[in-house]
Chains A and B, each alone.
Chain A
């Protein structure tokens, strides 16, 4: 019981604080850097920067046909675990209740066994991404410690969440406490590593798209 209180209380509060402050610090730190680039006069008919950025963000949701063959596994598997994570985090009834208790807002949830099934698929997909990272020569060579830590702090909450819901491996309270602690680890690591791509993808796709659209080039 003590562990559960600790995880729900001070641990979670600390983790959320690190997450919020760290994320803000990193985003502001990047955006406050000098904007030095002077772009040449755009071609006539160039969309506004906002429209260009938006179209770039959308266009990059799916690879060009010619790149699909070499990227099919990564793209499809990427979609599976991103969507799986979104469903498991946002549409699981206890999570919805937790958010309601915290922020006072709520939305409909999916039946628990459906979410459980999704979480199992997500865990499988994450495992597949790890195996790919370890066996694909390109990914293995370019991977940093961050890639493995980020993987672990994403996978563990899914795994412990499944264990808690399915009552596998221990008392429910203990499993729940461990689940929350793994979520804390995720939140604490988030601002420092590549998990930040959840925000940064908009900025990097957007900035490139603005420049390329000015040239009339594809993104």
Chain B
């Protein structure tokens, strides 16, 4: 165990044996390396109006001002003003841009990891347009470099490096796919040498959500497409992206995209996972340039297109339903209409939550928070917001398009003995195909 406590009583984890001063230097170097023009503009623009606080579920549900989004950026801001900004030499000379201390970094671990789901609601609320969520994610690069991330996340990082997935060794993947197909009586494709569609998965689909594996297959088979799962590129829920491990992020991105290219796929379908979409759809350009060699789409976009093309006919459920908008897919990904279109095609009468679409509340577990045990108490507080809105909408079903959101919402439901089941949009589609 590496769990420790700062002098101000805040728990933190530390990895490796580095001295505190070394950790601080590593974090600073990573902070500084990351800052380019766009984020410098944003780090300069804050007017300290505090409006971002009212958008953050962790502040709203606890009332504790320490969770104010902009405050989470303090180490990054300090690094910027001391080492990068236009007046950095002057500020250093006058001693008005203090050095970040190791103690501060340790203290900020809780703010950068435990109490930020990277949901971006604060970004939407900020009158200066500062993308706070993106800057928190960037802060994680420095924290990772310093060996100052929560142990639970570091464990997933290590496992992914070792296994190629946080859920299972890559060599077991093909077996899981075959077994799931056999169990559920669905024809599966695995490791085909040529295919038009490469289908990828999220870790939960290899453990508790295996139905999603056969459901995706069912839909693609129905469409008559040439598709495959592939042991060399299956893991989409990029742990590096969440942890601030940029090398791992690159590795996981390349595994999927290079495999898609190798098998001649024109489309890579991401699973029902929000962060997978953030990492692969919007950040793979970092390594491939603007034109990523394969089309990257989320399962929800795929379903929307399939329904719109008329190739996928669905039975009508004829019930009312509310939708939880996954933050990375909707607010930060722009996929607002697709899930609603698919719900309509299923004959679901949408009862929107009071805050829906771009302003929807986070499930509380994104950004690795659900995997970070230490964050359970505030995560459950955040869940309360969602639960209230779902109850107020009073629909028969509650649907989402992200496995991580589903896990978080179900954990919340169990904790509060709430009898609402969270449906996966993909599962609803697969269960209602017209033969």
Contact = CB atoms under 8 A, between A and B. Distances in A.
B16 to A, nearest CB: 28
Contact of A139 (B42, B50, B131, B336): B50
Given A31-B37, A34-B37, A204-B42, A71 B51 contact: yes
Contacts of A69: 54
A5 B285 CA distance: 60
Interface stretch (A112-120, A159-167, A178-186, A195-203): A195-203
Interface residues of B, number: 58
Chain A contact surface mostly:
helix
Contact of B129 (A39, A43, A204): A204
A33 B84 contact: yes
A39 B50 contact: no
B292 A67 contact: no
Contact of B46 (A63, A133, A194, A219): A194
Interface string A13-46: 0000000000001101111111111111101000
A46 to B, nearest CB: 10
A205 B47 contact: no
Contacts of B163: none
A141 B40 contact: no
Interface stretch (A86-94, A102-110, A168-176, A206-214): A206-214
Contact of A67 (B54, B66, B86, B87): B54
B41 A200 contact: yes
B3 interface: no
Contacts of B282: 39-40, 215
Given A38-B286, A41-B292, A194-B48, 16 more contacts: A31-B37, A33-B36, A37-B38, A38-B285, A40-B285, A64-B124, A66-B359, A67-B51, A141-B66, A141-B68, A142-B48, A194-B47, A196-B44, A197-B128, A207-B42, A215-B334
Interface of B: 35-38, 40-42, 44-51, 53-55, 59, 65-66, 68, 70-71, 84-87, 123-131, 281-286, 289-292, 330-336, 355, 357-359
- Nearest first, the 3 A-B pairs at minimum CB distance are A29-B86, A70-B54, A216-B334
